[in-house]
């Protein structure tokens, strides 16, 4: 069953993505989404250490620390936190590997409905 | 001597003196009288019994004699005079005292009563001695010269052998190896065009192998360059797609938000137009950048049953499909899956077409889907009431890595083989059932 309140962390270097996801989720009537955003993996890991998140949305192509390494560390710090990659490339080369390390994949560009349905599918599962 | 030719003996003695360091030669009888000598002045002279030649036997016990029984010769070196004295005893033997010459000698004796009757008595052991005086210095000089000659000859032979070996090795090994080294350097520099001339033997075989390797390297390099170009194009396309997709996400979500907040109907219509255009851009980006750069699935969110329905609606226009009853059902709500929609659509299209051809007089095509929550998988069963899969092909299809030949395989066999490959590309699993009376069953499991 989908919880009434969901705490989400978004890690993406693109400001437009951070703002868009915040706007899309905050507009929800049924579920209260508590959205925190950051544009670096290091800051994201600090936030995961100091807070308990239900779900992390992370860009698959971060500069600096790779997304997969960040996800591995998030899972070490907080094993129950679900992680969804946001994937903007069209190639299928790496997507299979992301499918194996994360809990789900959200293909860019996505709309409000796709974000919400992905979050609920991952959290209910 | 046996024939008593004294002149010849004298000449022989004179001839050998001077050769090989021989200083003098003389022949004595057992009484010590010098009968022949290279020094004529000493002929018929008597040597003292104290001479070393005599004392070797006469003043020593027999066991100490330098001429124990039948000794051939004896030599001793005089350090002071630097001379070697070699003496050869002349032993008496039947051929000596019975020889014709002795008889003739005896006859002469008989005629000349002043001479004794016999020359040698058979009881005599030693008749006399041949004594040679040899210069040790000359022998040593000869030995040194011989040694120098031997050393020189050895060096010359060694140099000749080394020269011949060097020339042979240079011609047979050095040059081919040098050419091979040059070839390797060329290859290391990336030049694959020049070949090493193939020779004979093992080096020739090596050169041929090297040329073959060079050809393969050249071909691999060409393929690598092509792959690198394709990979670069693919990477660039991905990066461009990512750069477009990020702002496009913002546009889509912001427009959606504006639509939700807008109370003005006209404004909403305008915003919806913007949204539909943004979605159109999304589709175009996916179509453009997921072009056939590589033959791998281009994953996107897919409603697989929507694809099934779409394929059925398209095929419904075909005449032989009109007599087929279709039944599409879902057990529960199905989540979207990540799949290549184009690939999946083509696979389902081919599957249904093959099914329909197996039911020329009509039949049932049943598609049933179910989301298995505990496995996070979607299970889809495709069934028909057509012919069974040929048994040999069915056996290959059920093998994990079984491959069907492109010739001689039935259309349904080939279709199922390609269908299986596409499902496996999507990390899915597939199973086949085939019964003569009940048709075919294809069960697909795809990760959701």
Cβ neighbours for A73, distance < 8 A, ≥ 6 positions apart = A45, A48
Residues from chain B contacting residue A29 (CB–CB below 8 Å): none
Q: What's the pLDDT at B213?
A: 79
Residue of A nearest to B235 (CA): A91
Is B381 inside a domain boundary?
Answer: yes
> Could you list the residue range(s) of the whole structural domain that residue B69 is in?
6-137
The total of other beta-carbon atoms located within 10 Å of residue A20's CB is: 29
Handedness of CA B136, B141, B146, B150 (dihedral sign): positive
**Cβ–Cβ < 8 Å for A122, A103:** yes
Instruction: Give the one of B253, B289, B373 whose C-beta lies nearest to A90's C-beta.
Output: B289
Residue of A nearest to B338 (CA): A105
Q: What's the pLDDT at B367?
A: 95
Q: Do B249 and A125 touch (CB under 8 A)?
A: no
Cα–chain center distance at B45: 87
Asked which of B131-135, B258-262, B403-407, B409-413 is least confident by mean pLDDT, the reply is: B403-407
CA B444 to chain A, closest CA, distance in angstroms equals 19
Q: Of B20, B47, B12, nearest to B32 (Cα)?
A: B47
Q: What's the pLDDT at B150?
A: 95
**Most B CBs within 10 Å, among A98, A109, A110, A116, to test the B interface:** A109
Instruction: Give the one of A19, A20, A27 whose C-beta lies nearest to B260's C-beta.
Output: A27
Q: What pLDDT band is residue B293 in, cutting at 50, 70 and 90?
A: very low
The pLDDT of residue B67 is above 70:
no
Question: For B67, what's the count of Cα atoms within 13 Å in the CB-facing half-sphere?
Answer: 21
Q: Do B241 and A88 touch (CB under 8 A)?
A: yes
The pLDDT of residue B55 is above 90:
no
Torsion of CA B91, B96, B102, B106, to 10 degrees: 70
Q: B145-154, long-range: CB within 8 Å, 24+ apart, which pairs?
A: none
Q: Do B256 and A93 touch (CB under 8 A)?
A: no
What ipTM was predicted for this assembly? 0.85
Residue B249 forms contact with A (CB below 8 Å) = yes
Q: Considering only residues B67 and B409, tell me which one the structure prediction assigns the higher pLDDT.
A: B409
Please identify which residue in the block is written with the tokens 């094993």.
A79
Is B163 inside a domain boundary?
Answer: no
Is B100 inside a domain boundary?
Answer: yes
Is B202 inside a domain boundary?
Answer: no
Write out the DSSP string of B133-160: EEEHHHHHHHHHHHHHHHHHHHHHHHHH
Is B69 inside a domain boundary?
Answer: yes
Q: What's the pLDDT at B292?
A: 40
Write out the DSSP string of B335-377: PPEEE-HHHHHHHHHHHHHHHHHT-TT-EEEEEEEEEEGGGTE
Q: Do B238 and A19 touch (CB under 8 A)?
A: no
**Most B CBs within 10 Å, among A15, A20, A30, A113, to test the B interface:** A20
Question: For B277, what's the count of Cα atoms within 13 Å in the CB-facing half-sphere?
Answer: 8
Q: Calculate mean pLDDT across residues B198-223.
A: 76
Distance CA B13, CA B8 (A): 8
Residues from chain B contacting residue A61 (CB–CB below 8 Å): 242
Q: Considering only residues B398 and B339, tell me which one the structure prediction assigns the higher pLDDT.
A: B339
**H-only helix segments in B170-316:** 175-188, 201-261, 265-289, 304-315
**C-alpha distances out from residue A67 to A62, A101, B69, B86, B242, Å:** 6, 10, 112, 108, 15
Torsion of CA B64, B67, B71, B76, to 10 degrees: 90
**Most A CBs within 10 Å, among B235, B243, B246, to test the A interface:** B246
Q: At what angle do helices A15-26 and A112-124 cross, to 10 degrees?
A: 70
Residues from chain A contacting residue B376 (CB–CB below 8 Å): 125
Residue B280 forms contact with A (CB below 8 Å) = no
Q: What pLDDT band is residue B65 in, cutting at 50, 70 and 90?
A: low
Cβ neighbours for B445, distance < 8 A, ≥ 6 positions apart = B372, B375, B377, B378, B379, B428, B429, B430
Q: Of B420, B379, B422, nearest to B396 (Cα)?
A: B420
Say whether B296 sits in a helix, a strand or coil: coil
| CATH code, B25 | 3.30.450.20
Instruction: Give the one of A111, A117, A125 whose C-beta lies nearest to B253's C-beta.
Output: A111
Residue B285 forms contact with A (CB below 8 Å) = yes
Give per-residue burial for A40-79: e unless 16+ CB within 10 Å, then b: bbeebbebbeeeebbbbbbbbbbeeeebbebbebbbeebe
Q: Which residues of A touch B (CB under 8 A)?
A: 14, 16-17, 19-21, 23-24, 27, 61, 88-93, 95-96, 99, 105, 107-112, 114, 117, 121, 125
Residues from chain A contacting residue B257 (CB–CB below 8 Å): 23-24, 27, 112
Is B122 inside a domain boundary?
Answer: yes
Q: What's the pLDDT at B383?
A: 93
The pLDDT of residue B328 is above 90:
yes
Q: What's the pLDDT at B234?
A: 66
Of B119, B137, B155, the residue that ends a domain is B137
Cβ neighbours for B68, distance < 8 A, ≥ 6 positions apart = B62
Residue B74 forms contact with A (CB below 8 Å) = no
Residue of B nearest to A26 (CA): B257
Distance CA B133, CA A23 (A): 133
Q: What pLDDT band is residue B100 in, cutting at 50, 70 and 90?
A: low
Of B93, B112, B137, the residue that ends a domain is B137
**Cβ–Cβ < 8 Å for B423, B446:** yes
Say whether B389 sits in a helix, a strand or coil: coil
Q: Do A107 and B254 touch (CB under 8 A)?
A: no
Residues from chain B contacting residue A93 (CB–CB below 8 Å): 234, 294, 296
Distance CA A68, CA A46 (A): 16
Please identify which residue in the block is written with the tokens 């929550």.
B373
**Domain total for chain B?**
2
Strands A82-87 and A55-59: parallel
| CATH code, B352 | 3.30.565.10
Q: What pLDDT band is residue A95 in, cutting at 50, 70 and 90?
A: low
CA B253 to chain A, closest CA, distance in angstroms equals 6
Mean pLDDT of chain B: 80
Torsion of CA B88, B94, B97, B103, to 10 degrees: -130
CA A112 to chain B, closest CA, distance in angstroms equals 6
Q: What's the pLDDT at B227?
A: 66
Q: Do A21 and B427 touch (CB under 8 A)?
A: no
Distance CA B20, CA B10 (A): 18
Q: What pLDDT band is residue B110 in, cutting at 50, 70 and 90?
A: very low
Q: What's the pLDDT at B350?
A: 80
pLDDT in tens, A54-92: 999 999 988 889 999 999 999 999 999 999 999 887 555
Q: Of A2, A19, A4, A21, nearest to A86 (Cα)?
A: A21
**Percentage above 70 pLDDT, chain B:** 82
Q: Do B296 and A89 touch (CB under 8 A)?
A: no
Residue B298 forms contact with A (CB below 8 Å) = yes
Asked which of A15-19, A119-123, B295-299 is least confident by mean pLDDT, the reply is: B295-299
Q: Considering only residues B216 and B278, tell me which one the structure prediction assigns the higher pLDDT.
A: B278
Of B105, B122, B137, the residue that ends a domain is B137
Is B236 inside a domain boundary?
Answer: no
Q: Calculate mean pLDDT across residues A110-116.
A: 90
Distance CA B293, CA B240 (A): 14
Is B358 inside a domain boundary?
Answer: yes
């Amino acid at each position: 069953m989908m919880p009434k309140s969901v705490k989400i962390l978004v890690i993406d270097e693109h400001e437009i993505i951070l703002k868009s996801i915040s706007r899309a989720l905050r507009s929800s009537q049924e579920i209260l989404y508590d959205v925190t955003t950051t544009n670096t993996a290091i800051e994201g890991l600090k936030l995961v250490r100091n807070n308990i998140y239900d779900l992390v949305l992370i860009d698959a192509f971060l500069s600096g620390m790779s997304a997969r390494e960040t996800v591995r560390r998030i899972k070490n710090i907080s094993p129950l936190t679900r992680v969804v990659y946001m994937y903007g490339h069209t190639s299928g080369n790496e997507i299979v590997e992301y499918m194996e390390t994360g809990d789900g994949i959200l293909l860019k560009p996505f709309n409000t409905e796709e974000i919400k349905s992905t979050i609920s599918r991952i959290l209910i599962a | 001597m046996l024939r008593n030719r004294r002149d010849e003996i004298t000449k022989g003695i004179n001839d050998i003196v001077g050769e090989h360091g021989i200083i003098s030669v003389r022949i004595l009888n057992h009484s010590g009288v010098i009968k022949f000598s290279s020094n004529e002045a000493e002929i018929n002279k008597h040597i003292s019994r104290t001479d070393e030649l005599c004392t070797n036997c006469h003043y020593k016990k027999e066991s100490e004699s330098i001429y124990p029984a039948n000794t051939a010769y004896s030599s001793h070196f005089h350090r002071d005079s630097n001379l070697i004295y070699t003496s050869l005893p002349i032993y008496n033997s039947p051929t000596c005292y019975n020889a014709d010459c002795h008889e003739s000698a005896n006859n002469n004796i008989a005629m000349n009563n002043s001479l004794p009757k016999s020359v040698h008595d058979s009881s005599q052991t030693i008749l006399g001695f041949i004594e040679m005086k040899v210069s040790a210095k000359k022998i040593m000089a000869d030995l040194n010269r011989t040694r120098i000659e031997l050393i020189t000859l050895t060096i010359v032979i060694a140099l000749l052998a080394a020269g011949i070996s060097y020339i042979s090795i240079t011609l047979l090994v050095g040059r081919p190896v040098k050419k091979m080294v040059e070839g390797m350097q060329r290859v290391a520099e990336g030049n694959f065009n020049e070949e090493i001339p193939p020779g004979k033997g093992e080096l020739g075989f090596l050169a041929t192998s090297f040329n073959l390797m060079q050809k393969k390297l050249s071909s691999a390099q060409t393929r690598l360059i092509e792959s690198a170009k394709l990979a670069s194009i693919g990477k660039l396309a991905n990066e461009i797609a990512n750069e477009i997709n990020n702002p496009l996400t913002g546009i889509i979500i912001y427009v959606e938000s504006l639509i939700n907040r807008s109370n003005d109907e006209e404004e909403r219509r305008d915003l919806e137009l913007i949204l539909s255009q943004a979605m159109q851009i999304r589709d175009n980006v996916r179509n453009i950048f997921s072009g056939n750069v590589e033959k791998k699935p281009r994953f996107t969110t897919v409603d697989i049953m929507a694809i099934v329905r779409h394929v059925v609606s398209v095929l419904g226009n075909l005449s032989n499909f009109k007599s087929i009853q279709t039944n599409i059902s879902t057990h529960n709500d199905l989540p979207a899956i990540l799949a290549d929609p184009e690939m999946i659509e083509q696979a389902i299209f081919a599957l249904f077409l093959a099914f329909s051809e197996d039911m020329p007089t009509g039949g049932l095509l049943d598609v049933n889907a179910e989301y298995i929550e505990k496995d996070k998988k979607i299970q889809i069963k495709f069934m028909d009431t057509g012919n069974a899969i040929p048994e040999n092909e069915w056996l290959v299809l059920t093998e994990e890595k079984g491959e069907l030949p492109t010739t001689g395989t039935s259309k349904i066999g080939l279709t199922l083989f390609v269908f299986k490959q596409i499902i496996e590309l999507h990390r899915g699993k597939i199973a086949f059932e085939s019964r003569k009376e009940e048709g075919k069953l294809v069960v697909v499991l795809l990760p959701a």
